[in-house]
Amino acid sequence: MAIDLVVRPTGLRVRFTGTDRLAAGSRGLDVPFERIIGTRVMTRGDAVASSPRFPCPGSWWPRRLRAGSWGVGERRQLWGVRQGAHVVVVYLSGRPFHRIVMDVEAPEHVRRGIEAALLHSKKTSARESMRGSWPRSATTGSASPSVPR
């Protein structure tokens, strides 16, 4: 697979190169650590089974290539997989993608490297509290969301 995966101090950089850039219809993606929920190694079959069925835009050739964007909305995924038996899956929060599926050499080693960098980023960077992001209720003065009854 012509995927260039780099773990940077601020997050992951995923880049398609060569003909895979054309097949994926994308240059790639920069993902900050704040968006990464976790990673895991899966068999290619399990990853395909839990994926949307239609590329948009993307390319596929059964059992040989699956590249580009798959699905829409909350289930949208970025794929870069050739014939590997195991893939690295990176779960994300927010948009435009909810997960990235990559075919890399030594997938378990790559997964451990991403997890170590993610843990290090959580220890060294300040996290923003969600407490101040809720609008205050005019009647109660509390910082909890108002729920219609």
Domain spans of the chain, in order of start: 3-126
pLDDT value for 140: 52
Q: Sorting pLDDT into bands at 50, 70 and 90, what band is 147?
A: very low
- Whole-angstrom distance, CA of residue 66 vs CA of residue 118: 27
| Alpha-helical runs (H) found in the chain | 19-24, 44-49, 107-124
Q: Which architecture does CATH list for 3-126?
A: Roll (2.30)
pLDDT value for 18: 77
Under DSSP, the state recorded for 85 is: S
pLDDT tens for 36-77 read 988 999 998 888 888 777 767 766 677 777 777 777 878 888
Q: CB-based contacts of 7: which residues, under 8 Å, 6+ apart?
A: 113, 114, 117
pLDDT value for 40: 93
